[in-house]
Amino acid sequence: MRSFLLLAFIAFVCFPQSVFSHTYLSSVVINGEKLVEGDCVRPHPALAYDYPIPLVTSPDMTCGWLPSAAQPANRKCGISAGSSIGIQWHHSSTDPSDDIIAATHLGPCLVYLARSDDGAGPVWFKIFEQGFSNGAWCVSNLIANKGLLTVTIPSDIAPGNYLLRGEIIALHGANVLNGVQPYVGCVELTISGSGTAKPAGVAIPGAYSASDPGMLFNLYNVFTSYIIPGPAVYKANSSPSSPTTKPTVKPTTAPVNPTTPPVNLLLLPPTPPAPPLNLLLLLLNPPQLPL
């Protein structure tokens, strides 16, 4: 076992880009036009920067790694309410051959909107979620669809400037507190239309806690359901006066001996190029960093 650990350590030191596979929101497709980082899509700390946010209560949860994620894109992209937007996830490049995200990183996909320029305060309402259904996780469906997630902008929302927030929550390490791996990216939109709805929102960070049943979840147990974190999805023309909350009970699980051990060790992030200070602190503080 000790020599295996040593080999695994050497493997990830020597081949840092090949032995793990996170994901990032690389581009969006609006009316057939593809927009990449910096062009309506909020930038990452570096191109193809794919590290998960270590704490679900971190300010980085709003739009991704700070300070990059707080920098405005060069412009806002126009889109009409009721139309669809394609959100493209990638692992390490925008090449069509890219593997999107490791198949081990099972979990839900979520999309929020906020009628806001900075995403601060209780402004976020959810417009899409897919967790575990029909025996498949959203991440598996996403990989099968080459990383493209297409969602519809609610037809009844008031026109204005919005942030769209895409999120993938990988659960392969979520059997321990703060082991969950969220990936977040934002897109700046100017939504047009004649709607008047201003759906009630939640704050992000604020809407999640590390002990939410969807954040502290054992993939290696037998389960039949999964509770996606955050509020219920806003449906056009439903206009709830407050965001609907979800049940907080844990799904019943029957522990078994997992036939597939967690592969966390090989997924340990290496030292990234020019990491932000908060990531450095996390690397120096391994218990904070999910594997």
Q: Which is nearer to Cu ion, 120 or 177 (CB)?
A: 177
- Residue number with the shortest CB distance to Cu ion? 22
Q: Which is nearer to Cu ion, 53 or 227 (CB)?
A: 53
Q: Which is nearer to Cu ion, 26 or 181 (CB)?
A: 181
Q: How far is the CB of 181 from Cu ion (least distance, A)?
A: 5
Q: How many CB atoms lie within 10 A of CB 118?
A: 12
Q: How far is the CB of 280 from Cu ion (least distance, A)?
A: 18
d(CA 230, CA 214): 9
Q: How far is the CB of 115 from Cu ion (least distance, A)?
A: 32
Nearest to 200 by CA among 239, 248, 152: 239
Q: How far is the CB of 23 from Cu ion (least distance, A)?
A: 8
Helix, strand, coil share (%) of the chain residues, nearest 5: 15, 25, 60
11 is written with which tokens?
Answer: 């493997």
Using CB under 5 A, list all residues that contact Cu ion.
22, 181
Q: Which is nearer to Cu ion, 79 or 139 (CB)?
A: 139
d(CA 269, CA 178): 15
For 81, half-sphere exposure in the C-beta direction (CA atoms, 13 angstrom radius) is 22
Q: Which is nearer to Cu ion, 92 or 181 (CB)?
A: 181
Q: How far is the CB of 21 from Cu ion (least distance, A)?
A: 6
In the chain the beta strands, taken as DSSP E runs, fall at 24-30, 33-36, 77-80, 84-90, 109-114, 124-130, 132-133, 136-137, 148-152, 160-170, 181-192
Q: How far is the CB of 22 from Cu ion (least distance, A)?
A: 4
d(CA 103, CA 22): 10
- Please state whether beta strands 181-192 and 77-80 pair in parallel, antiparallel, or not at all (unpaired): parallel
Q: Which is nearer to Cu ion, 5 or 103 (CB)?
A: 103
CB 124 within 8 A of CB 165: yes
Q: Which is nearer to Cu ion, 91 or 165 (CB)?
A: 91
20 is written with which tokens?
Answer: 């793990």
Q: How far is the CB of 119 from Cu ion (least distance, A)?
A: 24
